[in-house]
Structure 1
Amino acid sequence: MAALIYEFLFDVYQLIDAEREHNLWLPDEDGVLREAFDHRYMSCWEWSTSVLEEVGATKPLYLPTMSKAIRRDTNGITQGPYSYPAMTLDECDVADFSEFETFDNYCYAMFTFYQLIGQTSGLSGEVNLATQSLQFLEDVASKDDTFLIEGTDCVKFKIDRFEEKVMTRWHEMDLRVFRRKDRV
């Protein structure tokens, strides 16, 4: 779980950097201006942001006209499109996310990661390694049987295994929410 969370946060940092000249700076909960990540209501980034907010890796930001009372919809998705990293990648790398280690959370995170790959790679089921962290190959792909590693430059989803392992449970889930074990 921690490795997927790291990949989501890595993606946020990459997108903030790539959009730097267009990013908004919004006040956080203490009035400090933060460079905002904007998920643009695109599902792959909405869902990954919901994971990052739940684990405390990012925090929501609001435009002055947005109500702070609006938090999440029934799927746990943040209502506003803006957030900021609340931890560095180094902090995320050593953080203990064991309280989120459930099979349902794994399925939520893998479904989200699959969406993200589909949105960012432009290749059918192939992971664009240029958009992933240097840790991805060792910490995610080599440890999960839903991936096929065809060398250091090619990783693909094993679609049959992904469907069997992740999507079977995904379709069975009554509530698709990423949450702590004690809130299950």
Structure 2
Amino acid sequence: MMNRKHSIVLIILGIFLITFIVMGCGSDKIMEPVQSTKNFPTDGLTLLERAYEDIDSDGDKESVEVYTSAQIAPDGQMGWDTGERWVLLVRNGEEAFPLFDDSVQYGELQFWIASINKDQIVGPKSTDLQRKIYAAVTTDIGFKLLKYHWDEQNLCYKREVILNPTDQWSMRHSNKYNIPDPARIESNGRL
């Protein structure tokens, strides 16, 4: 009789464990770490935008930069091709964190820096705010929204795919970087 009860309990635990493994628990969001590299090479890339913000709340501003492999033509227009390399980079002194480094087919990458009042403090100081970087990657067939935040414990950024709808067929989007404006590359305030 005792063996039968043990068997039933083990079967129930086995079913629970299999369900737990297959279905998962909690959030289905996957957080990927983005580690730093020393002196990330940007030779041959065109800087499109740079913003300064204290992303890791250490009191010093980091540089958030967007690059593309497209070059500025002699007439001042961007020489877009069908698939450009796009880089979203955070520089902190000698360290560089390549948040995004990939080819984008007929599209672009844009970013936003959000200051989140996680403790809901009235009139928070800069150190009370948590910064998150949101990036939208648009292509001719899809749209993806990414979120990055500083992981103070592991000293790296964490990347999360917030939105990447399945079965995307085509996408229309505006092109922010259609005509480069050197006066708009640097941003110390609002983007």
Q: TM-score of the superposition, structure 1-length normalised?
A: 0.27
Give the number of the structure whose residues are more often helix, by fraction: 1
Q: Higher relative contact order at CA 8 Å, sep ≥6: structure 1 or structure 2? A: 1
Give the number of the structure whose residues are more often strand, by fraction: 2
Q: TM-score of the superposition, structure 2-length normalised?
A: 0.26
